[in-house]
Amino acid sequence: MDDLFPMLLSAVLGTLVGLQRQMAHKPAGLRTHTLVCIGSTMFLLVAPHAMRSFGMASFDPTRIVHGVVAGVGFLGAGTIMRTELQVHGLTTAASIWIVAAIGVAVGARAYGLAAVGTLLALLVLIGYRKAEKALSLAGDG
Give CA separation, 139 vs 63, 83, 126, 133, in Å: 46, 25, 21, 10
Cα 121 from Cα 108, distance rounded (Å): 19
Cα 95 from Cα 29, distance rounded (Å): 10
Q: How far is CA 133 from the centre of its chain?
A: 25
pLDDT of residue 139: 62
What does the domain layout of the chain look like in residue ranges?
4-140
**Which segments of the chain have a pLDDT < 70?**
138-141
Cα 74 from Cα 129, distance rounded (Å): 25
pLDDT of residue 50: 85
pLDDT of residue 141: 52
